[in-house]
Each structure stands twice: as structure tokens, then as C-alpha cells.
Amino acid sequence: MKPIIRYMVPLCALTCQAALAQDPNVEEIVVIGVQDTHTVRTDDTMVAPADTAELLKKMPGANVNKNGELTGLAQYRGMFGDRVNVSINGTHINSGGPNAMDAPLHYAPVALIESLSISRGIVPVSMGQETIGGHMEAHTYGGEFGDSNSFGFAGRAYLGGQSVNSGHVGSALLSLTNRHHIFRTFLMQEQGGDSKFDGGKITPSEYDRDRWDAGYSYTQGNHEFSLDFARNNTLHAGTAALPMDIMALDSDLWRGKYVWDGTDYRVTAQVSKSSILHWMSNNTLRRPPLTTAGTPDGTRFRNARTTSKGETFVLKVERFVDNGVWRAGVDGSFDKHGANIFNPNAPAFFINNFKGIERNIVGFYLEREMSLSDRTGLEIGARYNRVNTDSGTVAANMNPMNLPSGMPFMMNNMANMLAMRFNAQDLSQSDNDVDWFARFSIEAGYDTTWYVGAARKTRAPSYQERYLWMPLTSTGGLADGKTYIGDPNLKPEVSHELEAGFDYDGRDFSFYPRAFYKKVDDFIQGIPSTDMMAINFAQMMANMGMGTPDPLQFANVDATYYGFDMEAHYALSSRLDLRSVMSIVRGQRDDINDDLYRISPDNLVLALDYRGNGWSTSFETVTYADQNRVSNTNLEAKTGGYTVVNVSGRWNVTPMLEIGAGINNLLDERFEDHLAGYNRAYNPDVAMGARLPGLGRSLYGRMMWYF
């Protein structure tokens, strides 16, 4: 991207480019700006894993917290989970369960997406409601309009496989199109066994996922409309870093979008709806809990049924003026959650993990992007979000046999006291959050554009942080093995951020470095609980072999993030390129001398890419440094550094057919991925509580056929 760039609407870049091309009355608008996105296109990138979140490792500042082969939480500059705004085709999807087993990118499989993009650095307020930790977006294939009134048939078939888990995937995108209509459908099925490493297998890590989509798009003049439906069924998936595994994820996703593209204005309206039913178990994919005699202990079997329903809308108006663009919008998201834990061997046993949860946000924003002169540009914007949360009345029965004494009797009494105390509180909470950002850029000559930015970003507490009323591990995927209790009176997080960098675009060399500093007031972090009722209950659970003593409680503290990331590209010749991505981040508590939990180690990707006639190959090294800056509060273990070597190649058999193959971890390096969780399932190859190892050598391949 050059220092002077064509204006592109962030949420629908491809659509807008097509509209500009079709309407000769729309003038090209140029503004002084910088490269503010990094995009990985799956057509151009060899991909082995099933989890799209693994692609983040190829991007500056980004990474993935891996809790399972289909359970990757996006991380950006140290922040992860709910702090990172992730959307799919402009739509946010909530996880179906309270431990984010189906993190948002679970609903954008590798075999379906066209591209995955991150917004580098400070995020404009128009990109989403809560972007304190950044913004990422996956775009799925949707087909293209034809150039005549006659209908034509087109599509893409995708076949892939990898040896590390005997995994395979097959998908097909089929479309019937002309100049006004697109009828499309997408089918996918993928499976994988337990993943291997040098020394054994990660058990359980198997998965089985099906996907079916159907959609329609219509365009006429300045108008474009689309309607899409997707059914994502994950039949099972192991998550050894969490206390349970996925037994079923039945998800229905709807999205409708309308764009009016005029000479001076563009109006975008979008609505979406999601309905997710999620089943979990600690006794099916993994070895069930055992008695001291070594037989299954039916009293400790746990299953869970969770539900998530979400509705969103976006209305955005853009006005194109001589020196830039005005943007104004209103958006909303309305989410409901419920989770019930039960014992399949004791029907009377239940715990209302979460009941009647509501988390609703309505936001308004105004944004301006403009050229101040031929060499300077400015982006500014402000947003207001109103966040309302509430919970229903909870209960539990942990004494299904109605025993008059003993441990179940005492635990049930303690659970009832915790429930009564929770229900007596004012659970309805409202937050009024204000965000703003500003970014100034200047062309300094010599193919260089400098920029500096500042922002205030906010995030209201998640429903887990507010309404986890009993010490449990339902923490949005923290996967530290600790039990937590929530606090309905938590304050929103408020971040003040500074960022500076430059873009250099020479003839053969490009370089895009960024440095950042982020001060977060009222950062939400687990701290040692002083609640004697919660402490006593957690100790009882630990005595029964379930959970851990000494629970943490979500609380407001202060924290700081700072670091540096960059991407660079050097053309060694007309066919040979050197590329690199580097990421460095630090995360620290300010109230005590401690580091933040699960921060990515310093890492560097170096790759040589060679382009032949109809073929290409890549040799890549991925290096991670030691991570000695760990959270003592979360009992986080240190990890050593390592280097992994990857090779891949692609052959264009015909313009419509490509075959590719590669080897990840060529030298079969054994290493610990610092962002992987700790083992929670019995495995003779990995000790209980040990960090899950990185994957071993894997041969993979894919075929893509366009027709």
C-alpha cells in the first residue's frame, strides 16, 4: 500500500472497489495515510491447521492462545479473548460457551475464508464497539457477479490433509451468477485425530466439524443486497487445556446486508442473528474421573448445556468530500447466555453456572478522515457505547441423594449460601463508555510516511467477569487451571494508548515498524480472593479432586502494555524475496510487581520465497525467545525458546488448478508453546498440569480447483 492510497471502506473493501469500478460518477478519493492493515489471503498462503486463528502467527503483533485444535483465541499486542474485536464479514459472533471453546474464528474455517486481516495499531472507532485490544476480520468467499444477463456456473473445490493428526478437509463453493444475481452454497467436512508431538500425542485433541452455507446477492444500479445463512455443526473436539471437551456445537448464523453507493454518499445497513447450542463433557473424549480404586467415579461426572443467542445491527453513512470522508453510524449487539452443569449419573444434580444473562450494547460514532495538505493527513473520531448487563436468579443442587450429612451436604449448603448472596445483589449494571482516536501522518519524502496516533478505548466487563457466582473455571478461556469468582460491580477498563511508526516503500525494500504504549486503568484481572465463603467452597471442591483451592476473584487493577512490531519485505531479485515479521510485547501489573498472564514471547518470522514459472516455494524459520516474564498470580510457568523450520511449495498445474504441499516443523523440534494451556486431561505422554507441547513434524497438502 503506497503512502497515498485509495480510500477503502474497512468492512467491505472488495464490495466497494467493485462499486467504484461500476459507477463512473464516483470520483477516486485519495488521503494521506499509512499501511494500517495486514492481510493473509488463503489462496496465496499455504495453510495446514484447521483453526483459522493459527494464521495470526504470520502477522505483526498477533498470535493465538491455543486451548484446542479448533479453540484458538486471538491475541494482539498481549491482549486476548473478549478484549480483541473479531468479526466475520462485518458481524460479531459470540461464543456459545463460557470458556470460549468456540471462539469467533471457529465460525470461519480455513477452507471457507478468502482472507484474514488485522487492523495494525490504533483502531478507528468505526471498526467496532469494543476494540480496546484491536480488531480482526475474516472474509468468506461469496462469489462474483457476472458480466452478462446469462447465468453461469462457477465455484471452488478445496481438498487438504495433514499427517500430524491424520486430518483431512473437503469443501466446495458453488455459485450460479449473472450481472445482477448470485446464488451460492458452501459445503465442508473436516476431521482429525489426536495431534502428535515428539514423544507422544495430545489427548484429547481430535475434532469433527461440518459446515453448510447458502446465500443470495442482488445488485442493480447503486444498490446491492445480500442474505446469507450458515449452519456450523462441530460434532466433537478435544480441548485438553480446559476441564471439559466439546461434544456438540449446533450453530445457526444469519446475516443480511444492504449497500447504497451514490456519488457523494454511501449507506451500509447490516443485521445478523446467531443461535448456538453447546454441549460439553468431562467423561467422553477424555478418561473420566476415577475413584481411588481406579474405577469410574460417577459422582464426579460433569456435563454442561450452554446456549448463546445474539442479534446485531449496523447502520453507517459515509459522505465523500474533496479532501476525505465523513463517517457516522449507530450499531447494536444484544446477547443472551445460559449455562447449566449437570451429572448424567444423578439427574437431580445441577449448577446454574450462568442463567438469564443479558449483555446489550448500543453505540454511536462520528469519524473524519482527511488530507490536511498534499503531504499531511488526519483521522479522528469519537464513539459512545451504552452497555447494559443483567443476570437471572441462580441456584444449585450438589446433594442429589439428599444426604443428611457428609461432604455433599456441606457443599450443597455452601453453594446455596453463595447463590442466595449473589441473588440478593443488584445484578443490573449499566456503563457509559466513551472512545476516541486521532492519527496524524506526513509524507517525509524518500518514499517514507511517518505517523503518530493516540486513543482512548474502553471495554465493559464480560458476563463471566461479572456473574461467575461460584468458584469455577468458566473464565472465557483463560485456561490457567485456577477457579474464579466474579464481581457484579466491576468497572469498565479504560485504555490510553500512544503509537508511532513509519512506512517505507522503496523499489525493492519495504519496511513498516510500529512502537506502542498502552496504559490501562481498571484492568480486569484475577487476584487472590479474600472471600471466606468462596475460599471454603473451593477447598471443599479441591478435597474431592475437582478444581483448585485458593480461588481468584476478578477485580479492577492497573496495567501497562508496550512493545514493538514490524513487517518487512526485500526483493533480492525478480524471483527471490526475503520477508520478515517481528513482534515484541510486554504486559505488566502496575498495582503490584507482577507480569500479566499469557503474553506472547518475542518472536521473529524469516522467510525466503522463490517464484518460478507456474510454481513457487518458501523456506521459513519461526523463532520464539524464552518467556521469563510470567504471572505469579496465575502461577504461570516459564518456557524456553525454540526455532521451527517450515517449507512449502505450490504448483499451478493449469490456471484453474493448484496443488501445494509442505512440511511444518521440518526438524521435528520438541518445544513448549507459551500460549498453549496446561493439560487438564489424563495422558500418559503429558503430565497433568504440564503445559501442552507444540506439534511435531507434519506433512500437509492441498488442492484447489476453480471452475
Torsion angle defined by CA atoms of residues 531, 81, 103 and 195, in that order, rounded to the nearest 10 degrees: -90
Domains of the chain in start order, with CATH, are: 4-571 (2.40.170.20)
DSSP 229-289: EEEEEEEEE--TTSSSEEEEEEEEEEEEEEEEE-SSEEEEEEEEEEEEEEEEESSSSSPPP
Geometric angle at alpha carbon 623, from 622 and 629, rounded to 5° = 135
Assess whether pLDDT exceeds 90 at residue 42: no
Residue 7 burial (CB count, 10 A): 16
Averaged pLDDT, 70-84: 97
Assess whether pLDDT exceeds 50 at residue 3: no
Mean pLDDT score across all residues of the chain: 93
Do 297 and 287 contact (CB within 8 A), yes or no? Answer: no
Do 550 and 528 contact (CB within 8 A), yes or no? Answer: yes
27-41, 81-95, 332-346, 419-433: segment of lowest average pLDDT:
27-41
pLDDT at 15: 34
Q: What kind and span of H or E run contains 401? A: none
- Closest by CA to 568, choosing from 52, 35, 55, 47, is 35
- Grid cell for residue 622: 519461526
Distance (Å, whole) CA 518 – CA 495:
6
Band the pLDDT of 47: cuts 50, 70, 90.
Answer: confident
Q: Cα(first)–Cα(last) distance of the chain, in Å? A: 30
Assess whether pLDDT exceeds 90 at residue 13: no
pLDDT at 11: 31
Averaged pLDDT, 318-325: 95
Averaged pLDDT, 166-183: 97
**20 vs 483 pLDDT, higher one:** 483
Share of the chain above pLDDT 90, in %: 90
- Closest by CA to 275, choosing from 246, 241, 250, 312, is 250
pLDDT at 31: 61
pLDDT at 20: 34
Assess whether pLDDT exceeds 90 at residue 595: yes
Per 3-state DSSP, the chain is made up of helix, strand and coil in percentages (nearest 5) of 10, 55, 35
422-431 pLDDT, tens digit per residue, is: 999 999 999 9
Averaged pLDDT, 25-44: 70
Averaged pLDDT, 532-560: 92
pLDDT at 19: 35
pLDDT at 701: 96
DSSP category for residue 579? E
Distance (Å, whole) CA 115 – CA 104:
15
Averaged pLDDT, 283-312: 95
Distance (Å, whole) CA 148 – CA 682:
60
Spatial CB neighbours of 365, under 8 Å, sequence gap ≥ 6: 125, 126, 327, 328, 329, 330, 381, 382, 383, 384
**pTM, two decimal places:** 0.93
Spatial CB neighbours of 617, under 8 Å, sequence gap ≥ 6: 609, 610, 647, 648, 649, 650
User: Cis link prior to 204 (omega < 30° from 0)?
Assistant: yes
Assess whether pLDDT exceeds 50 at residue 588: yes
pLDDT at 546: 81
Cα torsion angle, 412, 417, 420, 423, sign: negative
- Closest by CA to 238, choosing from 202, 211, 210, is 202
Averaged pLDDT, 403-415: 91
Assess whether pLDDT exceeds 70 at residue 418: yes
Residue 676 main-chain phi, psi, to 5 deg:
-80, 155
pLDDT at 30: 53
188-200 pLDDT, tens digit per residue, is: 999 999 999 999 9
- Grid cell for residue 608: 525466503
- Closest by CA to 194, choosing from 321, 68, 301, is 68
- Grid cell for residue 250: 449446533
